[in-house]
Structure 1
Amino acid sequence: MADTIIAAEDPSARSAPPLPSDSVIVVLGASGDLAKKKTYPALFGLYRYDLLPKGIKIVGYARTKMDDADYKKRISSYIKTPGAEDEAKLKEFLALTSYVSGQYDQDESFQVLDKHISEIEGYPDESHRLFYLALPPTVFTTVSQHLKTNCYPKKGSARVIIEKPFGHDLESSRELQAALRPIWSEDEIFRIDHYLGKEMVKNILILRFGNEFFNASWNKSHISSVQITFKELFGTEGRGGYFDTFGIIRDVMQNHLLQVLTMIAMERPLSFSAEDIRDEKVRVLRAMPVIDPKNVIIGQYDKSPDGTKPGYLDDPTVPKGSRCPTFAAIVLYIQNDRWENVPFILKAGKALDSAKVEVRVQYKDVTSGIFKDIPRNELVLRIQPDESVYIKMNSKLPGLTMKTSVTELDLTYKRRFSNLHIPEAYEALILDAINGDHSNFVRDDELDASWKIFTPLLHYLDQNEDIVPVKYPYGSRGPEFLDDFLADHGYSRELDGLYQWPTTRANGKI
């Protein structure tokens, strides 16, 4: 097992006290893919490192009828145990779990759940419960109402983790929040966007505000553009029917990538407390005008040039003639003193040439004179895979000439922190919820502000049937005019093409 370092917790970051010993975590939707692939592996990861409260109990709840053995078999099938020590830990973890079958719209089912929880709780007079809704948003309100009526502690505390999507536009988001508001207080709600739990995203605050050489140049005087990119190698692979109801903009950009943008662009918070951090994120969002359709390109992948990979419309689950975008590039602006006229370019797509998520901060050209066409400096934050931070810089090529070469100052996590455990995003966020820290969760006004930026564009695309996504080949970089679009918004790729990232280092080797 890899060594791990757990930083001392900052109590000022908490919005609520940590869950005490003998608390209960209830995973609703326990038989679904999200719970099996993300929630339970994350809970086990925390248990491996003794980060769960002492005496914790974990209860699964779903409509699927199964006995205790089947339930635990399902959980364990998605948990990796590379060694005997982990196998022993898994047996201990499974002993903490139990399962209740019931409906999502019947008081009687939730009363059975409440009775089961009460029987395994360690407190006779009070209860401390964390409800994880690994469920579709269509049942959030119904389930919440039944939990509040039947399973809410009469004395103690309750908190609830809610998964995205939080609506599909501003109106539906407000309807969802209005329905949840009488049931849960804002302090009890933890709206999870798993990108905020990723190690490199959590590192942005430290990189920005803990290093003066970054902080001094982090403004419109030095930065030409900021790109935040999400690329996937695969297409919908038979699940296009689900994806088609959202599209790439709703699925990735309005939430994940916009969250990263706020971390990149925000002002220094007064403290690391949850509300101070979220206040600054909201200020960034409120300084952003709605998206101009002229600053958007959308695409939809077609079959690969060799015909081995199908196009999006070849997926039998996709509606015939769908205009759903599988690729988008969107330019946003922030109207404040720091970022005026600096383009923030969000790019996301499926069936592209590589799989990565990164932030690319490109600096302005150096003063001309002794240099001609020297490449721009770039700061790159690789969020996944192979977390790294590197600065592309110009250096003299060793030898008897004054030729320049693009090289890098490189922090690749696999090499620098090879013996440390990098937690999965869900591990980090569930631990935050247990500790009562809202810093990396989405606040209601933050959600509202983000939908205000995107909703006019989404309605414009949905309602104008003559707007059809541009086709791009499966396995390409995206639409063929992408480079021209980026160049029109200040990004220099021609000079960028002189540089190649050393792939052996990206694999953790020297």
Structure 2
Amino acid sequence: MSRQRAMSGTIPSMETSNEALKDNTVIIVLGASGDLAKKKTYPALFGLYQRGFLPTDVHIVGYARTKMDEAEYHKRTTSYIKNPNNDEEITAKIEEFKKATTYVSGDYEKGEAFDNLNKYIEEVEKRYQGDQRHRLFYLALPPSVFIPVAANLKTHCYSKRGINRIIVEKPFGKDTDSCRTLLSSLKQHWTEDETFRIDHYLGKEMVKNLLVLRFANVALGSAWDKNSISSVQITFKEPFGTEGRGGYFDEFGMIRDVLQNHLLQVLSVLAMERPVSFSAEDIRDEKASVVSVKVLRAIPPIERADTLLGQYVAANGKPGYLDDDTVPHNSVCPTFAATTLWIHNPRWEGVPFILRAGKALNESKVEIRIQFKDVTQGIFKDIARNELVIRIQPSEAVYLKMNLKTPGLYTRAMPTELDLTYKRRFAETYIPEAYEALILDALKGDHSNFVRDDELDVAWKIFTPILHWIDGQSGPRPHPVGYPYGSRGPKELEAFIAKYGYKRADQGYAWPVTNLSNL
């Protein structure tokens, strides 16, 4: 596929350049038969391929233990590619994409299996012109095989004629010690410059937009501290439970699955100081060095008193967590967690950062809610607080909840919003999936939206004591409170948030998100 043809089409493209991409590149997806590859990796690769954002003549090799023929492989890898209207152009692109990807089966532990993979890659590379041969290895694998696979790739499949890069998926350990073990083991084989630790939340459009929102707007920047902000909430909600896949979840729980990585990464971008520039290295240095060394180190380990744990129970015709046959019958694993973090530095001292996430809740939503302090009392009494809300997904939006005069002859304030809803404002603009943006960054060698090793170490220190408490390593395990499937969470949540000064407006205000269904 030529870049010229891809870029001259009518499909809206990401505002970036192919010039940093290296031709003669093979992308190897390890774990190609698994759910992650099927649901995220291959759809993202197709999205980049469709829009001309992969290197010229790129070839994708899938690798896994599962034995399957080419037809089965292509069926799996394209089953989650979206084409709801059976668009002929997209269908043709899918068929073209299939020709650019093939499959090899093999073991994850045995060196001879990787020798076989290397021979296959070399056969693919014979069609390339010039001396360079570049390889990107994507580990869509469980962490139990990270180390043997990383070692085998370096020993048996490392290209000596070009650039090699490896993408590693979370989770990066289960606590501080296991994270350090994993990081040190990877470093024995792959340099920091070659390693890309992916947290897909850093690739989401609205998270990436936080840098511009914060630092390109004087009106917001001047109010971005403890003098104006009362509290910050970062919320993750899923409307479904484990549904037969509770075995994996019960091992890790909601804090490891969401709070310690995704939501803490969002907090990092919210709390970081201004970078020297928006270049990749400056942003990464500011986030990793200043946030991890200064901001994250300024966050003490989470206290038990600043934690609320819940577990969903049967309701509304849906089974409870313990009704899942894949979950241990007496599990006290939390499916809901709210934790409050404190940043002890001059900018944020005294501002609670409340991270909360749960399964089997009333809606699907990820958002940031920044509540400002009360207006000075006098002419106004009990007026609603301003809130800046950044909706990360679904229906990306930024809105500022503010007070205006009620229309008419009365001088009475009412809460309303300044609303930037992306589907309305950018109706014709393609917003890439997070994995598309991050895979493209890895191909270009851009580390700015990936997690560095020193950042991971400090992040785990914040959560490890509370995780050991939940796991029963520091005394009796806490029992999460029950909450009904399909509810907003534990009934104790309102009091939990209120004790940190959050005030819910009682004037019946609601952001008109339902209007988006007509767009």
| 8 Å Cα contact 2:469-2:477 kept in structure 1 | no
TM-fit CA distance, 1:504? 3.9
| 8 Å Cα contact 2:239-2:486 kept in structure 1 | yes
Following the alignment from structure 2 to structure 1, what is the Cα–Cα distance between the partners of residues 179 and 286? 21
- The counterpart of 1:331, out of the listed 336, 340, 346, is 340
Following the alignment from structure 2 to structure 1, what is the Cα–Cα distance between the partners of residues 451 and 10? 31
- The counterpart of 2:425, out of the listed 416, 437, 442, is 416
TM-fit CA distance, 1:466? 4.8
Question: Alignment partner of 1:471: what SS?
Answer: strand
TM-score (ref. length: structure 1):
0.95
2:74 maps to: 72
Q: How does 1:212-291 map to 2 (within 5 A)?
A: 212-281=218-287, 282=292, 283-291=294-302
- The counterpart of 2:469, out of the listed 460, 470, 477, is 460
Once the two structures are superposed, what CA deviation does each residue of 1:76-130 show, in whole Å capped at 9, x if it has no partner?
A: 2222234100111111111111111111111111111111111111156442100
AA matched with 1:185: T
Identity percentage of aligned residues: 63
Once the two structures are superposed, what CA deviation does each residue of 1:174-215 show, in whole Å capped at 9, x if it has no partner?
A: 000010101000000000001111110110001000111010
Name stretches of at least 5 consecutive residues in structure 1 with no aligned partner.
12-16
2:97 maps to: 93
Following the alignment from structure 2 to structure 1, what is the Cα–Cα distance between the partners of residues 223 and 13? 31
- The counterpart of 1:483, out of the listed 466, 471, 494, is 494
TM-fit CA distance, 1:497? 5.6
Matched, 1:503 2:517: no
114-123 or 154-163, which deviates more:
114-123
TM-fit CA distance, 1:298? 0.5
AA matched with 2:419: D
TM-fit CA distance, 1:7? 2.2
| 8 Å Cα contact 1:19-1:128 kept in structure 2 | no
2:121 maps to: 117
122-131 or 351-360, which deviates more:
122-131
Following the alignment from structure 1 to structure 2, what is the Cα–Cα distance between the partners of residues 497 and 71? 55
Matched, 1:184 2:190: yes
Following the alignment from structure 2 to structure 1, what is the Cα–Cα distance between the partners of residues 238 and 75? 31
- The counterpart of 1:167, out of the listed 163, 168, 173, is 173
Residues 327 and 497 from structure 1, CA distance in 2 versus in 1: closer, same or farther, beyond 3 angstroms? farther
| 8 Å Cα contact 1:248-1:349 kept in structure 2 | yes
Residues 497 and 179 from structure 1, CA distance in 2 versus in 1: closer, same or farther, beyond 3 angstroms? farther
Matched, 1:298 2:309: yes
2:163 maps to: 157
- The counterpart of 2:208, out of the listed 202, 205, 220, is 202
Question: Alignment partner of 1:245: what SS?
Answer: helix
TM-fit CA distance, 1:5? 4.4
- The counterpart of 1:48, out of the listed 43, 47, 50, is 50
462-471 or 497-506, which deviates more:
497-506
1:27 maps to: 29
| 8 Å Cα contact 1:361-1:379 kept in structure 2 | yes
| 8 Å Cα contact 1:412-1:508 kept in structure 2 | no
Once the two structures are superposed, what CA deviation does each residue of 1:257-287 show, in whole Å capped at 9, x if it has no partner?
A: 0000001111101122333223333232122
Residues 5 and 73 from structure 1, CA distance in 2 versus in 1: closer, same or farther, beyond 3 angstroms? closer
Matched, 1:84 2:94: no
Q: How does 1:295-374 map to 2 (within 5 A)?
A: 295-304=306-315, 306=316, 308-374=317-383
RMSD: 1.6
| 8 Å Cα contact 2:469-2:478 kept in structure 1 | no
Residues 35 and 465 from structure 1, CA distance in 2 versus in 1: closer, same or farther, beyond 3 angstroms? same
Residues 497 and 24 from structure 1, CA distance in 2 versus in 1: closer, same or farther, beyond 3 angstroms? farther
Name stretches of at least 5 consecutive residues in structure 2 with no aligned partner.
1-8
| 8 Å Cα contact 1:299-1:328 kept in structure 2 | yes
AA matched with 2:459: S
TM-fit CA distance, 1:3? 4.6
AA matched with 2:246: G
Residues 257 and 238 from structure 1, CA distance in 2 versus in 1: closer, same or farther, beyond 3 angstroms? same
Aligned length: 500
AA matched with 1:347: R
TM-fit CA distance, 1:506? 3.5
AA matched with 2:437: A
Following the alignment from structure 1 to structure 2, what is the Cα–Cα distance between the partners of residues 502 and 253? 28
2:4 maps to: none
71-80 or 499-508, which deviates more:
499-508
Residues 93 and 116 from structure 1, CA distance in 2 versus in 1: closer, same or farther, beyond 3 angstroms? same
Question: Alignment partner of 1:433: what SS?
Answer: helix
TM-fit CA distance, 1:19? 4.0
| 8 Å Cα contact 2:469-2:476 kept in structure 1 | no
AA matched with 2:467: L
TM-fit CA distance, 1:508? 5.7
| 8 Å Cα contact 2:26-2:61 kept in structure 1 | yes
1:38 maps to: 40
AA matched with 1:153: S
Question: Alignment partner of 2:471: what SS?
Answer: helix
Following the alignment from structure 2 to structure 1, what is the Cα–Cα distance between the partners of residues 246 and 313? 14
Residues 100 and 496 from structure 1, CA distance in 2 versus in 1: closer, same or farther, beyond 3 angstroms? farther
Residues 8 and 154 from structure 1, CA distance in 2 versus in 1: closer, same or farther, beyond 3 angstroms? closer
Question: Alignment partner of 1:490: what SS?
Answer: coil
Matched, 1:103 2:107: yes
Question: Alignment partner of 1:498: what SS?
Answer: coil
1:61 maps to: 63
- The counterpart of 1:7, out of the listed 8, 15, 22, is 15
AA matched with 1:491: Y
Following the alignment from structure 1 to structure 2, what is the Cα–Cα distance between the partners of residues 479 and 91? 48
| 8 Å Cα contact 1:2-1:421 kept in structure 2 | no
Question: Alignment partner of 1:159: what SS?
Answer: strand
Following the alignment from structure 2 to structure 1, what is the Cα–Cα distance between the partners of residues 191 and 433? 28
AA matched with 1:289: P
